[in-house]
């Protein structure tokens, strides 16, 4: 076959099993788009901004488990992808970004829309390439997909010059041979002696605790984690990105740790004698003050990326390798544990959850975000996909929406990217078209990528959008309230009429101002054929509790003022 470089791009995507791509055309990648219609098996989605396309591909990858693909042209097209690339990099999401570059003879001469995108993205990609020879397109794209999905996943960028897209190869054939890269060994297994040492430490621990991170989901080791926890009777705490690693209803799942985690979880970490960090990186939002973090605990860190071992927290034993395979070896060596005293102690620390649970406050006419999110959980099913933006609503969602299945919770963790919610929901819907998809967003973050409403309308897909509208940049306002004497500088926000905005895109808009209206609005959104926007006008100066101030001890939590009613949480 004779194939141009542009055709080879599409051929490679087909061979890699890509079924949807999120891209934006421009001058430098026009050859690729000129060839696109010859490959109808790949559905192309046109975002309204390249950042939106990157987040769509990200949401698609998180829900499907496949490599997400986003594409942009040179210059501003490529730089508009940068925030999405950094988001994927921080959260270890397997993605391939294909950007176009000016013709090779113009590189370095400040040509129109020329940007050194490989230089810009070097710190935020797992690897990147500049391709100027048509003969390199196929081998490099094959390597890109391999690197993105193997080992610790991450984003890979391939920048292809326009002349390489236009050049052709006679008698071209796709190479299906195994990929081997010098110096890249993503599959590492720990020595048996280390495995046995880990088992001995676990068996002798009185107050052990599993810290389950995103790596549990990325390695698909949810079942192995459940077997481990149930056999050893070790309770499990989850990170923000570890939500879904174990069903929320499981009796050994304590809930989320960290800055806005559950108080009993943070206290349990501080009292534990052994921490088992499974696929998590000891982020500062999880640990608080490192000098006082889990002072009495020995620590075992299971991680596929050796650079994470001892990076933030010094550990007693590091097991480098795939978590799923390590747990399969460790589980037979773990003895059945009788840790009733430890589990009962944690239950006593938990006490009556009404101490911080706004759900149990009387319904006095005020609409609280926690009401909305908990009701959304009650009126949806366990297969529902929830994506969030970043801010107060994100933390309330983590607290009040109880996730039962893996890969149903999609949020920006490491980078904390506002504008992530809506586009990631669109990508999630392409990954799981039969699932109900909701995105919970703030009025601030939503407006950053609200133009993607047109993408949803054009594609005819259905996502439901719950805007937690409090008229502020809520999380920043909360910090101003707690730490800056309520100096609300630049956080009050005037928003458009979100109902009319939805209607302007040809979509359904609903406004809710009272708790009594929440169920009807959710039911109407679920019953409506297309994308629906619900504007929930919630209490403006509410705060997320508990909160560990930045740099404080993990158990030095700010708690909600105690004007409370003691009733069961699950009413």
The dihedral sign for the CA sequence 495, 498, 500, 506: positive
The predicted structure's pLDDT at residue 568: 35
Average pLDDT over residues 534-538: 98
Positions marked catalytic: 50, 112-113, 162, 475
Is the pLDDT at 378 greater than 60? The verdict is: yes
Is the pLDDT at 327 greater than 60? The verdict is: yes
Average pLDDT over residues 100-105: 98
The dihedral sign for the CA sequence 418, 553, 312, 403: negative
DSSP for 546-559 reads SB--TTS-TT--B-
The predicted structure's pLDDT at residue 132: 98
Separation of alpha carbons 260 and 267, rounded Å: 13
The predicted structure's pLDDT at residue 353: 62
Separation of alpha carbons 225 and 131, rounded Å: 42
Determine the Cα angle at 35 with ends 29 and 41, to 5°.
115
The predicted structure's pLDDT at residue 187: 67
Give the number of other Cβ atoms within 10 Å of residue 396's Cβ: 27
Consecutive H or E run containing 64: helix 50-64
- Average pLDDT of the chain, as a whole number: 94
Are 461 and 385 in contact by the 8 Å Cβ rule? The answer is no
Cα→Cα distances 402→64, 283, 287, 292, 567, Å: 20, 23, 23, 30, 19
What pTM was estimated for this model as a whole?
Answer: 0.96
Judge residue 10's burial from the number of C-beta atoms within 10 Å of its C-beta, 0-12 exposed, 13-18 middle, 19 or more buried: buried
Average pLDDT over residues 52-73: 98
Average pLDDT over residues 394-400: 96
Give the tokens for residue 38.
């010859």
The predicted structure's pLDDT at residue 77: 98
Give the pLDDT band of residue 129 (cuts 50, 70, 90).
Answer: very high
Q: What is the pLDDT of residues 406-463, one digit of tens each?
A: 999 999 999 999 999 999 999 999 999 999 999 999 999 999 999 999 999 999 999 9
Is the pLDDT at 571 greater than 80? The verdict is: no
Q: Of the given ranges (6-10, 353-357, 482-486), which has the lowest mean pLDDT?
A: 353-357
Q: Tokens 């509790």 label which residue? A: 545
Q: What is the pLDDT of residues 218-244, one digit of tens each?
A: 999 999 999 999 999 999 999 999 999
Average pLDDT over residues 315-328: 95
Consecutive H or E run containing 303: strand 298-303
The predicted structure's pLDDT at residue 117: 98
Is the pLDDT at 363 greater than 80? The verdict is: no
Neighbouring-strand partners of residue 300? 276, 317
Separation of alpha carbons 233 and 252, rounded Å: 8
Separation of alpha carbons 263 and 255, rounded Å: 10
Q: What is the pLDDT of residues 172-205, one digit of tens each?
A: 999 999 999 988 877 667 767 799 999 999 999 9
Separation of alpha carbons 37 and 159, rounded Å: 21
Neighbouring-strand partners of residue 100? 160
């Amino acid at each position: 076959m004779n194939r141009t470089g542009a055709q080879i791009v599409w051929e490679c995507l087909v061979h890699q099993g890509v079924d949807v791509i999120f891209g934006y055309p421009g001058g430098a990648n026009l050859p690729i788009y000129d060839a696109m219609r010859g490959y109808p098996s790949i559905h192309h989605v046109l975002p309204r901004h390249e950042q939106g396309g990157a987040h769509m591909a990200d949401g698609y990858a998180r829900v499907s488990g496949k490599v997400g693909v986003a594409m942009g042209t040179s210059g501003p097209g490529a730089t508009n992808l940068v925030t999405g690339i950094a988001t994927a990099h921080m959260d270890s999401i397997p993605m391939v970004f294909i950007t176009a570059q000016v013709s090779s003879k113009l590189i370095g001469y400040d040509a129109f829309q020329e940007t050194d995108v490989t230089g810009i993205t070097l710190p935020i990609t797992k690897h990147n390439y500049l391709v100027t020879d048509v003969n390199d397109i196929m081998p490099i794209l094959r390597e890109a997909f391999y690197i993105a999905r193997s080992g610790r996943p991450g984003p890979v960028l391939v920048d292809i010059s326009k002349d390489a897209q236009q050049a052709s190869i006679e008698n071209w054939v796709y190479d299906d041979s195994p990929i081997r890269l010098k110096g890249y060994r993503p599959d590492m297994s720990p020595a048996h002696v280390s495995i046995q040492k880990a088992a001995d430490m676990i068996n002798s621990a009185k107050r052990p605790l599993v810290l389950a991170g995103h790596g549990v989901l990325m390695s698909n080791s949810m079942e192995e984690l459940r077997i481990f926890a149930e056999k050893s009777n070790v309770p499990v705490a989850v990170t923000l990105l570890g939500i879904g690693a174990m069903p929320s209803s499981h009796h050994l799942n304590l809930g989320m740790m960290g800055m806005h985690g559950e108080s009993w979880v943070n206290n349990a970490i501080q009292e534990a004698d052994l921490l088992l960090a499974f696929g998590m990186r000891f982020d500062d939002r999880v640990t608080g003050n490192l000098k006082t973090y889990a002072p009495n605990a020995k620590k075992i860190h299971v991680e596929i990326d050796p650079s994470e071992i001892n990076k933030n927290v010094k550990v007693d034993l590091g097991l480098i390798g795939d978590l799923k395979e390590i747990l399969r070896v460790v589980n037979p060596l773990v003895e059945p544990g009788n840790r009733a005293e430890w589990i009962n102690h944690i239950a006593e620390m938990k006490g009556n959850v009404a101490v911080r649970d706004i759900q149990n406050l009387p319904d006095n006419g005020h609409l609280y975000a926690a009401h909305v999110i908990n009701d959304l959980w009650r009126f949806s099913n366990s297969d529902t996909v929830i994506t969030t933006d970043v801010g107060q609503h994100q933390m309330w969602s983590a607290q009040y929406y109880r996730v039962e299945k893996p890969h149903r919770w999609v949020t920006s963790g490491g980078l904390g990217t506002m504008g992530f919610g809506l586009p990631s929901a669109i990508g999630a819907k392409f990954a799981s078209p039969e699932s109900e998809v909701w995105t919970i967003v703030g009025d601030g973050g939503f407006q950053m990528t609200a133009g993607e409403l047109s993408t949803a309308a054009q594609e005819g897909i259905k996502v439901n959008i719950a805007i937690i509208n409090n008229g502020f940049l809520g999380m920043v306002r909360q910090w101003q309230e707690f730490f800056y004497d309520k100096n609300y500088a630049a956080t009050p926000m005037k928003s458009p009429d979100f109902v009319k905005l939805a209607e302007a895109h040809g979509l359904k808009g609903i406004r809710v101002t009272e708790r009594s209206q929440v169920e009807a609005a959710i039911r109407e959104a679920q019953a409506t054929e297309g994308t629906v926007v619900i504007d929930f006008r919630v209490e403006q100066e509410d705060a997320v509790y508990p909160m560990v101030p930045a740099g404080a001890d993990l158990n030095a939590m700010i708690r909600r003022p105690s004007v409370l009613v003691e009733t069961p949480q699950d009413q």
